[in-house]
Amino acid sequence: MSEADLPASVQRNSIEDARVTGTVVQAGAIHGGVHLHAPALPVPRQLPPVPRRLVGREGDLAALDESLGVSVAEPAAADVTVVVTGPAGVGKTALAAQWLRGLSGRFPDGQLYADLRGHAPGGPVDPVEALGGFLRAFGVGPVPGNLAEGVALWRSVAADRRIAVLLDNASTAAQVRPLLPGSEHAVVVVTSRRRLTGLGIDGAVFHPLGLLARAASAQILAQRVGEGRVAAEQAAAAEVVERCADLPLAICLAAARIAARPVQRLAVTARALGQDADRLATLDVEGETVRNVLDASFEVLEADAARLYGLLGLLPFAEFTLEVACVAGDLRAPEADRLLDGLMDVHLLEELSDGCFRFHDLVKLHARACGEPLRDGPPGRTAADRVLDWYLASATAAEELISPSHRTLPRDYAGQPARPARVFEDEDEALGWLDVERDRLMAALRWAAETGRHATAWQLADAMWPLFLRLRPARLWVEAHRTGLAAARAAGHRAGELRLLTSGGHGLRNAREDEEAADWFAEALELARCSAAPLAEADALYGLGQTHRTAGRLAEAAGCLDEAAGIRAGKGLVRGAALARLSLGDVLLAAGRAEEAVGIITTAHRELAEIPDAYEATRALAFLGQAHSALGAYGPAERCFAQALDGFRAGRARLWEARVLELSGELERLRGRTAEARARFQASLTGYRELGAPDAARLAGRIGALDDGPGLTPRPGDPGGPGDPDGSDDSDGPHAADG
């Protein structure tokens, strides 16, 4: 069949919507091969900075070398997990990072770092979050929300790479175990204040890190404050070293305090440290061992820096940007930068990168204690309001740019934000900001809910919609909506409650919590009907239909989607009605009613192409190809799949690219072209595995059954078939579908 045999809308779409992306070569004639190379990702080098030389740790470094079998004559193969344990502030991270840096030549494929925050105020990091960072470092995404799938994908990515991994501040062996790459070419160093003896089952080598020798402590102090000052006050210097109990963090902080006051006698610091020498030496009480040293460092701050330190300590996260510091302190950038520099001078703050800062977990506890007197008074309340307002306004600005038709509900600020929200140049920048800030946005949402700022909490959950839709952090999506829904109900905001029921229902469905998703959509439907809100009713019906389809309740799914399409069409919402019809066509395919599906999908394709919505129109082509294939019209099916594949590759829709490859492989199998089918299936399987998609196991089984005959062909909607990956990521969202 020629292209003329295709529907006119398909012909127009292939010409009018054609785009050229990526590298373009224009030439009159080409002789020989043309090789185009995409820019490579930089090799990850994520280890934190360390001093050029670790004083007093030569023996520890040699012991770590021995655990790996490193020697000049015979460098051993990298394949070891080392657990470095010891009290807080003893220098575990510095030792591990220094050792791995010295072996950097052995890890040409990268050095990865994750702070597991085992003792942070907000609790330990979920292993899924750390896995996401590792996978994104190698350009792999989207990251699976399911832990088992994430672990499988991580180990597949790491299998042939020679890498080093530093897992810092671990809480338990169970937190660490999913992050082990399981490779014969990797070295993993885990640091923790706990023993983590459970990792011995995994063959880990343990290295307890003790306090510094007294001579090494004295050497560090002399290096940092100057040999002359130490020589002039030898007794006071010895007293400082003794009262720091040879704890590296305490030594460094005390030295910073002394260095910041070049005319002040060392005896002043010695007396300050001597106020509670016993507590400083009690290393089994977390945080208390260095409290006096931190207090002493705090006391040398100027008043404005001390105030900012306390306000930042009240924030629900330890890492923050310069922008957030400006908002919290109600400061201009130059002044905030100066005050932060003062905090770094006395080692109360560290700079992660340009414009991003972090409190050590112990220092964070101290900063919070310093901010406690401000928390319930006007300074603390207004600072919290400013930070929450800024995050809400900035997330809303990103939402307006990425998903404008979803941006329909009001925003209630504690006061008009004192400074403008973050300004974004384009969608990519807005989405990048949401990605970088995802943990802090979630922490802000929790903080708002915990402090009774219910309007802010549910509106933050609503404003984060583009993050959930595009980046698909399944657990975050569900948690945000559970918290936001409770907040909307506490605030008595019915429209907010209805919105979060529907958008949260899609999150639950994508997290494979189908029964709870159905309950949320059903509740939204009842609420919409009681509120006489037809568009919200259509949204709930759309989500409920998708949930029924996933569960195999095809008659119920068709009824819901047909009703949703009718409501939207009656309100003149062309795109929303087309999306509902497209989903209805998918359900009809699943029910074996391909002839009916062709007409419905063709209409939806034409409407989406005319809007234009290239991504959704391309999805329609994929479904149209399925319908033609089911009817035995192999030529039109092949052309639809080819156009869909080009469209998804251009739009970087990797999951749909893999699905179309599978569908086209099935088409080749039906034609009796086993070799071509196997090649398509194999390409699809590679895509599924790279994405951590659950379809990988199903397709692997099908590849082994290629010669079993056409009777084993799964229909598109069967549990064994590719079908529609999920409905909500195929639109701008349950409400934006009405745009």
Residues 112-141 have pLDDT tens digits of 999 998 866 677 889 999 999 999 999 887
Per-residue model confidence (pLDDT) at position 732:
37
Position 196 scores a pLDDT of 86
Specify whether the CB–CB gap between 359 and 121 falls below 8 A: no
The more confident residue out of 739 and 222 is 222
Q: What is the DSSP string of 380-449?
A: HHHHHHHHHHHHHHHHHHHHHHH-GGG--S----SSS-SSPPPP-SSHHHHHHHHHHTHHHHHHHHHHHH
Query: What helix, strand, coil percent values describe the chain, rounded to 5?
Result: 65, 5, 30
Q: Tell me the C-alpha to C-alpha distance, in Å, between residue 476 and each of 35, 145, 315, 406.
A: 41, 9, 20, 19
Give the mean model confidence (pLDDT) for residues 607-614: 90
Fold of the domain built from segment(s) 540-738: 1.25.40
Q: Which two tokens stand for residue 336?
A: 């905030």
For residue 164, the surrounding DSSP H or E stretch is strand 163-168
Q: Using an 8 Å Cβ cutoff, are 604 and 10 in contact? A: no
> Is residue 35 scored above 80 in pLDDT?
no
pLDDT at 736: 38
Confidence class for position 33, pLDDT limits 50, 70, 90: low
Question: Which residue blocks in 177-284 are alpha helix, DSSP H?
Answer: 214-225, 227-232, 234-243, 248-260, 266-273, 277-281
Q: Where are the domains of the chain?
A: 58-208, 214-299, 303-375, 384-466, 540-738
Q: How far is CA 418 from CA 13, 329, 452, in A?
A: 48, 11, 21
Query: What confidence score (pLDDT) does residue 738 get?
Result: 34
pLDDT of residue 51: 76
Average pLDDT over residues 440-462: 97
Whether residue 288 has pLDDT greater than 50: no
Report which of 379, 367, 376, 316 is spatially closest to residue 340, judged by C-alpha positions: 367
Q: List Cβ neighbours of 385 (8 Å cut-off, separation of 6 or more).
A: 414, 415, 453
Domains 303-375 and 540-738 share a fold: no
Q: Is the pLDDT of residue 79 over 50?
A: yes
Task: Please report where in the chains the tokens 């951590």 appear, as a residue.
Answer: 692
pLDDT for 581? 95
Work out the mean pLDDT of the chain and round it to a whole number.
84
∠ CA(262), CA(263), CA(266), 5° rounding? Answer: 80
Averaged pLDDT, 573-589: 94
What's the confidence (pLDDT) of residue 301?
Answer: 87
pLDDT at 225 over 70: yes
In this predicted model, which residue has the larger pLDDT, 111 or 281? 111
546-570, pLDDT tens digit by residue?
A: 999 988 999 999 999 999 999 999 9
CATH 3.40.50.300 fits 58-208, yes or no: yes
Cα separation, 429 vs 414, whole angstroms: 27
% residues pLDDT > 90 (the chain) = 53
Reported as a pLDDT band with limits 50, 70 and 90, residue 11 is very low
Higher pLDDT residue, 211 or 610? 610
Pick among 1.10.760.10, 1.10.10.10, 1.20.1250.20, 1.10.3720.10: CATH of 303-375: 1.10.10.10
